[in-house]
C-alpha cells in the first residue's frame, strides 16, 4: 500500500530539504554523518532492539543508522528508513544494495503527515525530530507506528551553549550580517528546538508516551577536515549557514572578512587525525508507547 504521506503535496519545509539543503548535506556528509555518528554510537549497543524486530528509522538521511539497525535485527527482522528527501534516499538505497542488505527498505514520507500504524517494535530517529514544525503531532505519528509496548529513541541537540560546534560560528557571522528575518526560508524549527528537557517531556506526554527518560551524551565532533573545510561547512549549513544564506549579496560581499574571522575563531580548536574537533552535546530520549 502506498505510504499515505506520499499522497500529499510537499510542504515548504520538505521542498527546502530537497532543493536547498540536500546538495549541501551531500557536500558535507563527512561532517554530518561520519562526525555526528558518535552520538548514536554512544547509545547503539544499549538500544532495546532484538533479533527479529521490525524497526522504523524516521528522518533516516543517508541511511547509516538504518543499515546498522538492519544488522542488529538480522534476517528475521526488517528495517524501514523514512525520509522526506529524495537525494538522501537514493544514497541510502545504493549503500544498502552495495552492502547486499536484504532486510531494509527506504521510503519517501513526511513524518508530520503520516507514518505506518501499529507495525514496529522500535522507532528510532537521530537528529530528525528537531525539524518538525508540529512536533507533538509528528511524535504522536511515531508513537502510533509502534506496537503497544514498543519503545522509541530519538537523539536531539542540547543547548546552544553546550554545542559550540554549531553556535560559535553563528556568533561570529552575526558580527557582520543581520539576523534572518521573520520570513526566512528554513527547514523547520531548528537544531536547538528540543534542547529543553521539561518542554520536550511535556510534548512527549502530549503525544501519548510513557516512561520518558533523558540521557546526556557529550562528544567532540569533526567540524571539517581542516580550517578551510570547517569554514565552508559553517557558512553553508546550520545556524551560521542560515544567517549567511539569508543575507544574500551582503554575505557574498563580506565573505573575505567573515572567513578571516571564522578562521581566527577556529584556530584554537583541537586538531586530530580526523580533522578539526569541537565539543557537542545531545539528549538521547527514550519512551514507551503504552498502546
Ligand atoms: C539532520 S538530518 C539527520 C539525518 C540522519 N538521521 C542522520 O543522523 O544523519 C534530518 C533528517 O530529517 C529529514 N526530515 C526532516 N523533516 C522530516 C519529515 N517531516 N519527515 C521525514 N523526514 C524528515 C531530513 O530530510 C533529514 O534527512
Annotated domain spans of the chain: 4-161+185-223+281-288
- 66-113 pLDDT per residue, tens: 999 999 999 999 999 999 999 999 999 999 999 999 999 999 999 999
Pick from 64, 48, 32, 42: nearest CA to 218: 42
What is the model's pLDDT at position 174? 96
Tell me the whole-structure pTM to 2 decimals: 0.93
What is the model's pLDDT at position 33? 85
Q: What is the mean pLDDT of residues 155-175?
A: 95
Question: Measured in angstroms, how far is the CA atom of residue 254 from the centroid of ligand 1?
Answer: 31
- 208-262 pLDDT per residue, tens: 999 999 999 999 999 999 999 999 999 999 999 999 999 999 999 999 999 999 9
- 249-279 pLDDT per residue, tens: 999 999 999 999 999 999 999 999 889 999 9
d(CA 242, CA 261) in angstroms, rounded, equals: 17
What is the model's pLDDT at position 195? 95
Q: Is the CB of 85 under 6 A from ligand 1?
A: yes
Question: Measured in angstroms, how far is the CA atom of residue 118 from the centroid of ligand 1?
Answer: 22
Question: Measured in angstroms, how far is the CA atom of residue 132 from the centroid of ligand 1?
Answer: 9
The correct CATH number of 4-161+185-223+281-288 out of 3.40.50.150, 2.60.15.10, 3.40.50.720, 3.10.180.10 is 3.40.50.150
- 146-164 pLDDT per residue, tens: 999 999 999 999 999 999 9
Amino acid at each position: 500500500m502506498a505510504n499515505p504521506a506520499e499522497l500529499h503535496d510537499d510542504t515548504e519545509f520538505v521542498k527546502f530539504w530537497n532543493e536547498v539543503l540536500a546538495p549541501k548535506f551531500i557536500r558535507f556528509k563527512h561532517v554530518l554523518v561520519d562526525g555526528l555518528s558518535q552520538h548514536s554510537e554512544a547509545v547503539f549497543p544499549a538500544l532495546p532492539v532484538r533479533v527479529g524486530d521490525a524497526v522504523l528509522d524516521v528522518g533516516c538521511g543517508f541511511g547509516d543508522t538504518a543499515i546498522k539497525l538492519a544488522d542488529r535485527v538480522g534476517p528475521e527482522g526488517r528495517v524501514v528508513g523514512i525520509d522526506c528527501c529524495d537525494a538522501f534516499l537514493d544514497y541510502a538505497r545504493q549503500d544498502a544494495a552495495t552492502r547486499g542488505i536484504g532486510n531494509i527498505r527506504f521510503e519517501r514520507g513526511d513524518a508530520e503527515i503520516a507514518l505506518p500504524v501499529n507495525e514496529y517494535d522500535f522507532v528510532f530517529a537521530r537528529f530528525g525530530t528537531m525539524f518538525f514544525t508540529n512536533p507533538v503531532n509528528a511524535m504522536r505519528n511515531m508513537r502510533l507506528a509502534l506496537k503497544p509496548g514498543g519503545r522509541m529513541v530519538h537523539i536531539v541537540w542540547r543547548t546552544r551553549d553546550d554545542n559550540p560546534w554549531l553556535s560559535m560560528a553563528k556568533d561570529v557571522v552575526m558580527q557582520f550580517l543581520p539576523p534572518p528575518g521573520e520570513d526566512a526560508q528554513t527547514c523547520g524549527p531548528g537544531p536547538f528546538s528540543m534542547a529543553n528537557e521539561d518542554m520536550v517531556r511535556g510534548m512527549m506526554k502530549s503525544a501519548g508516551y510513557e516512561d520518558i527518560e533523558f540521557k546526556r551524551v557529550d562528544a567532540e565532533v569533526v567540524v571539517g577536515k581542516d580550517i578551510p573545510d570547517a569554514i565552508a561547512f559553517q557558512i553553508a549549513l546550520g545556524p551560521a549557514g542560515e544567517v549567511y544564506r539569508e543575507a544574500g549579496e551582503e554575505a557574498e560581499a563580506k565573505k573575505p572578512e567573515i572567513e578571516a574571522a571564522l578562521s581566527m575563531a577556529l584556530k584554537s580548536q583541537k586538531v586530530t587525525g580526523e580533522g578539526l574537533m569541537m565539543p557537542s552535546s545531545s539528549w538521547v530520549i527514550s519512551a514507551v508507547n503504552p498502546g
